[in-house]
Amino acid sequence: MSRPTTDGTPTRSHAPGHESSLYHVFVAFGFAGAEVGVLLGRPVVAAVGLSLFGWSVAELLGETSLADASGSGRRLAAVAGLYAVVAVSLLWVVQPVGDPLGVRGLAFAVAAVALLVRAGYDTLRRTAVVSPQK
């Protein structure tokens, strides 16, 4: 941990609004879960891990200044789009789902759909909050 400066003001890591979130932990859990699902040949476990990984990466991008922080729907949709491209390329190159790359392709496809559903939910929720009905 960093110490306060000599004049008593907190350093950047202790300044208000710069608290660390737990999204970086979810990145690790999501990645590990995806790999465990592939190793066990369980696309559902891999898809849940990839969904957790993609969601946490999208939220981390929102916390930093690398992406628009106004809403997570666009970031989630972008991650889902990348997942869909990877899924199509893996399933096109490797057809059987029993193969580890086929399991990964199926997991990426399911995770892309899950992230798109979450992106739609976040967008609808944000729209309802921004423009309440009278």
- Asked if residue 112 belongs to a domain, the reply is yes
Q: Give me the pLDDT at residue 15, please.
A: 44
Contact 115, 84 (CB under 8 A): no
- Asked if residue 84 belongs to a domain, the reply is yes
The residue range of the domain holding 72 is 21-130
Q: Give me the pLDDT at residue 92, please.
A: 82
- Asked if residue 104 belongs to a domain, the reply is yes
35 three-class SS? helix
Q: Give me the pLDDT at residue 43, please.
A: 85
Tally of domains within the chain: 1
pLDDT one digit per residue (tens) for the chain, 134 residues: 445 556 555 444 444 455 667 888 889 999 999 999 988 888 899 999 999 999 999 888 888 766 665 677 888 899 999 999 999 888 887 666 567 777 888 899 999 999 999 998 888 887 776 555 65
DSSP code string of 72-129? HHHHHHHHHHHHHHHHHHHHHH---TTSHHHHHHHHHHHHHHHHHHHHHHHHHHHHHH
Q: 59: which 2 tokens? A: 């939220």
Q: Give me the pLDDT at residue 1, please.
A: 44
- Asked if residue 11 belongs to a domain, the reply is no
